Amino acid sequence: MGAKIESIQEGSVTSAKGFLAGSTFAGLKTREEGTQDLGILLSEHPATLAATFSTNRILSPSVTLSKRRAERGTARGVVANSGCANCSVGSQGLTDAEEMASLAGNQVGVGADEMLVCSTGMIGVELPMGLIRKSIVDIKPTPDGGHGFARALMTTDSRPKETAISADIDGRTITFGGAAKGVGMIHPNMATMLCFIATDANVEPMFLRTALTAAVGASFNMIDIDGDQSTNDTVLVFANGAAGGPVIEGGSASAQGFQEALTHISIHLAKELVRDGEGAERLIEVVVDRALSLADARMAAREIASSLLVKAMVHGRDPNWGRIIMALGKSGVELDESKLDIFINDIHIVHDGVAIPYFADAVISGMSNPDVKFRVTLNIGDASATAWGCDLTEDYVIFNSAYST
Amino acid sequence: MGAKIESIQEGSVTSAKGFLAGSTFAGLKTREEGTQDLGILLSEHPATLAATFSTNRILSPSVTLSKRRAERGTARGVVANSGCANCSVGSQGLTDAEEMASLAGNQVGVGADEMLVCSTGMIGVELPMGLIRKSIVDIKPTPDGGHGFARALMTTDSRPKETAISADIDGRTITFGGAAKGVGMIHPNMATMLCFIATDANVEPMFLRTALTAAVGASFNMIDIDGDQSTNDTVLVFANGAAGGPVIEGGSASAQGFQEALTHISIHLAKELVRDGEGAERLIEVVVDRALSLADARMAAREIASSLLVKAMVHGRDPNWGRIIMALGKSGVELDESKLDIFINDIHIVHDGVAIPYFADAVISGMSNPDVKFRVTLNIGDASATAWGCDLTEDYVIFNSAYST
């Protein structure tokens, strides 16, 4: 078993066969060297599509439109803009989202209803459609356009997030490319994040949905930057079948390999989002194991990775494990305090719920690692989960104190 | 109607008749000018007691003991220490809590089981009982001891929180005194906070519980500093009846006046906790009105007051109302986006879910007020609620990056 996953050098969302992308600068953001703010990702042939969206009660009309179009389970591509979230702008929002899809469809020669729309940026201001109409004609999707597309998604991201992997699935090489943006408002259950995964696998539509749900559950829903959640979150996976081969259906050996690869690239991109969290300097990995249920393990791991006091203590290189205990207890999961074990970077510091005389210098030294790992073993079951967060820094506050005005 | 509430100058937890308090420095904290870390609050006669405690799954044995003793609905007093939370220390924790109650009972001449125990401070270290045994004999409760008791609760609080009010209830003057500590780990559903309210009202025990639940629901459960929640939270209200008069029973006119006064002092102390939040510079008041239900109004108000992005925007004097929309949507309450109104410091900035051309200079100027007020009107019902939070500052991060080591 195992899908033999390999990373592709300089990979992008167009690394898989039959995907093209293009981007331009329309003027939705301040122009700097290499700034892009409008992009199109396109499959050369109709692709099977699965999607997950924000659970916020207030959604950008771009999300509303994409949600509706995603229900068919097939699409040709997506047009994405950064700078403006197209949210809280009344009925104009849906009109603009529809026009954007239609402009993009015209530009690449596919039906408007085969294009999805994603927007990210400021809430409460209308999309400057004049700029979009004028600039979209400059977008000519090519197989090399992935890097530009990833740049077109960036808001306060300090760098584009993109990757590609190849996986040997049932003797066939399948490629997965991905691009994402994240930064602020990131919290379990998704938040200001967009992620696009494009694979040349040939996948049965229902299984693609199931696989995406599982992949998102183990990746984007397990990361936290600041506990907030946006109105625009979207994860799309396009599978265009260009790699050939029989359809991958649920329950098969190839399905298992596909799931493994999809989860792998999702976790990779999710961790990249956290690493580039606003002001973040270090990654926090929280493993909760031997929990009573997967739901409990996930809940506890997320609660710890989301705690401001835990984040601040990582920033300060301070192994103040009482904060881990506090966050664990707050999560409300089943636990027996007298059975708890806690490890910081593999050093055992709490056993049976009580501190053991650990070597403090080694623990403090490990707290300076670029990746700080906490493991909490509940010792009451068999379930385990991993969550990722970033440290809370002065820069997060400085950054978020001065954003719109 | 209305309980004619008046503030008492220099009031403290011993302002009501028949309450005494004393405190000392036992050495549980670093000594500075005026530092106290161990205190006793005592009623001269048995008092009716109601209590609420942390909902964290991991509790300090001090809480466990007090919870048990609070079930009887009557007590003489409480011994409280700061510096050490007496949490995550195995079975020694309960032994120490019991000894502390017993030492306190001996010192003031009441049964050990008539004393409750509260601890706040570091998690994971045992109470230094040697210091407590040695110092507790210095505590001689007096009617003037309230101010010292409030100081004995402080951890990272920059100042003691205490107040007293008198209320004319059914023609009789009833006094309420209160002392509290808060600061970090404050979040809806209580968190590292202790609050003691002592009143000379004569109250029927079941009604006292009901009244405390209502008061806490509108005050301590509506404040947020950093979203975290402690293992030690406790709110106790002692009613010793020393003001005389008939028993106040639920449903009566005097019950209404009592509720009003208890909620009033609870909100006052809760706001004091927020104002003194770690690093906090300004208070955020969030009113959500015309909601479908009280639960919805409370949930939405808390979610907005808890949002890091909202807190950071207040710190930056930035009226970026999209973050209010984001937090409101994230709360999951019933709403109709096209009916939303938002006001910042009484300036109407969003109507029917869309920005109106407000006078930005006035809004930005108001964002510098010491109290910043957001009102979100859902226009779908009659329920309203208020929550309080504080701004997120660089100092919060600096402070919490270097606490234990």
Q: Are both B318 and B227 inside the same structural domain?
A: no
- How far apart, in whole angstroms, are the C-alpha atoms of residue A21 and residue A82? 16
Do A88 and B355 count as a contact with CB atoms less than 8 A apart? yes
- The pLDDT profile of chain A, 405 residues, written as one tens digit per residue, is 568 999 999 999 999 999 999 999 999 988 888 899 999 999 999 999 999 998 888 899 999 999 999 999 999 999 999 999 999 899 999 999 999 999 999 999 999 999 999 999 888 889 999 999 999 999 999 999 999 999 999 988 889 999 999 999 989 999 999 999 986 545 444 347 899 999 999 999 999 999 999 999 999 989 876 555 677 889 999 999 999 999 999 999 999 999 999 999 999 999 998 888 777 788 999 999 999 999 999 999 999 998 888 888 888 888 888 889 989 998 999 999 999 999 999 999 999 999 888 888 888 888 888 899 999 999 999 999 999 998 887 776 776 665 444
Do A330 and B124 count as a contact with CB atoms less than 8 A apart? no
Contacts of A84 in chain B (CB under 8 A): none
Tokens of A68: 């509706």
CA A193, chain centre distance (Å): 6
Q: Are both A384 and A305 inside the same structural domain?
A: yes
| Beta strand residue intervals within A352-400, DSSP E | 354-355, 371-377, 383-390
The closest CB to that of A322, out of B123, B226, B335, belongs to B123
Q: Are both B305 and B221 inside the same structural domain?
A: no
3-state secondary structure of B374: strand
Please say if the pLDDT value at position B91 is more than 70: yes
DSSP state at residue A215? H
Contacts of A335 in chain B (CB under 8 A): 57-58
ipTM over 0.90: no
- How far apart, in whole angstroms, are the C-alpha atoms of residue B197 and residue B204? 16
Q: What is the predicted pLDDT for the residue at A358? A: 82
Q: Are both A203 and A312 inside the same structural domain?
A: no
Q: What is the predicted pLDDT for the residue at B124? A: 87
Q: Are both B258 and B304 inside the same structural domain?
A: no
Q: Are both B222 and B319 inside the same structural domain?
A: no
Contacts of A59 in chain B (CB under 8 A): 329
Contacts of B281 in chain A (CB under 8 A): none
Please say if the pLDDT value at position B68 is more than 90: yes
CB contacts < 8 A (A, B): 208
pLDDT tens, B126-135?
999 999 999 9
DSSP state at residue B27? S
Q: What is the predicted pLDDT for the residue at A316? A: 84
Beta-carbon contacts of residue B376 (< 8 Å; ≥ 6 apart): B286, B287, B288, B289, B300, B301, B304, B324, B328, B340, B341, B342, B343
3-state secondary structure of A114: helix
Sign of the CA dihedral with A151 first, then A157, A159, and A164 last = negative
pLDDT tens, B305-316?
988 888 888 888
Q: Are both A159 and A304 inside the same structural domain?
A: no
- Containing H/E element for B76? strand B74-84
Domain C-terminal end among A255, A275, A295: A275
Residues B40-59 have a mean pLDDT of 94
- Containing H/E element for B46? strand B38-53
Which CATH number does the domain housing residue A104 bear?
3.60.70.12
Domain C-terminal end among B247, B275, B303: B275
Q: What is the predicted pLDDT for the residue at A229? A: 61
Q: From the CB of residue B109, how many other CB atoms can be counted at a distance below 10 Å? A: 8
β-pairing, B172-181 vs A194-199, is: unpaired
- How far apart, in whole angstroms, are the C-alpha atoms of residue B230 and residue B187? 9
The closest CB to that of A322, out of B124, B316, B327, belongs to B124
Q: How confident is the model at residue B97 (pLDDT cuts 50, 70, 90)?
A: very high
Q: How confident is the model at residue B191 (pLDDT cuts 50, 70, 90)?
A: very low
Tokens of B44: 């001269």
Q: What is the predicted pLDDT for the residue at A128? A: 96
Amino acid (1-letter code) at residue B31? R
Q: Are both A193 and A300 inside the same structural domain?
A: no
Q: What is the pTM of this model?
A: 0.85
Q: Are both B292 and B346 inside the same structural domain?
A: yes
Q: What is the mean pLDDT of chain B?
A: 91
Residues B322-344 have a mean pLDDT of 93
Tokens of B130: 């040697």
CA A321, chain centre distance (Å): 28
- How far apart, in whole angstroms, are the C-alpha atoms of residue B198 and residue B201? 9
Q: What is the predicted pLDDT for the residue at A315? A: 85
Which CATH number does the domain housing residue B320 bear?
3.10.20.340
How much of chain B, in percent, has pLDDT values that exceed 70?
94
Please say if the pLDDT value at position B397 is more than 50: yes
Domain C-terminal end among A217, A251, A275: A275
- Looking at the structure of chain A, the number of domains it has is 2
- How far apart, in whole angstroms, are the C-alpha atoms of residue A338 and residue B263? 38
3-state secondary structure of A28: coil
The closest CB to that of B308, out of A228, A338, A354, belongs to A228
Q: Are both B249 and B317 inside the same structural domain?
A: no
Please say if the pLDDT value at position B394 is more than 80: no
- Containing H/E element for B324? helix B322-330
Taking chain B, what is the end-to-end CA distance rounded to the nearest angstrom? 54
Do B326 and A185 count as a contact with CB atoms less than 8 A apart? yes
Q: What is the predicted pLDDT for the residue at B401? A: 66
Do A402 and B316 count as a contact with CB atoms less than 8 A apart? yes
Catalytic residue among A192, A231, A263, A377: A192
Q: What is the predicted pLDDT for the residue at B57? A: 87
Sign of the CA dihedral with A106 first, then A109, A113, and A117 last = negative
- How far apart, in whole angstroms, are the C-alpha atoms of residue A77 and residue A301? 35
Tokens of A208: 């693609």
Half-sphere exposure of B403 (CA within 13 A, CB side): 26
Q: Are both A241 and A291 inside the same structural domain?
A: no
Determine the distance in angstroms separating the CA of B295 from the nearest CA of chain A, rounded to an integer: 16
pLDDT tens, B229-286?
677 889 999 999 999 999 999 999 999 999 999 999 999 999 998 888 777 788 999 9
Determine the distance in angstroms separating the CA of B377 from the nearest CA of chain A, rounded to an integer: 15
Q: Are both B152 and B228 inside the same structural domain?
A: yes
pLDDT tens, A171-224?
999 999 999 998 654 544 434 789 999 999 999 999 999 999 999 999 998 987
Determine the distance in angstroms separating the CA of B322 from the nearest CA of chain A, rounded to an integer: 5
- In terms of pLDDT, which residue wins out, A330 or B352? B352
Q: From the CB of residue A370, how many other CB atoms can be counted at a distance below 10 Å? A: 8
Query: Do residues B186 and B226 touch, judged by C-beta distance below 8 A?
Result: yes
Please say if the pLDDT value at position B65 is more than 50: yes
Residue A17, domain extent: 5-275
- Enzyme catalytic residues of B: 192
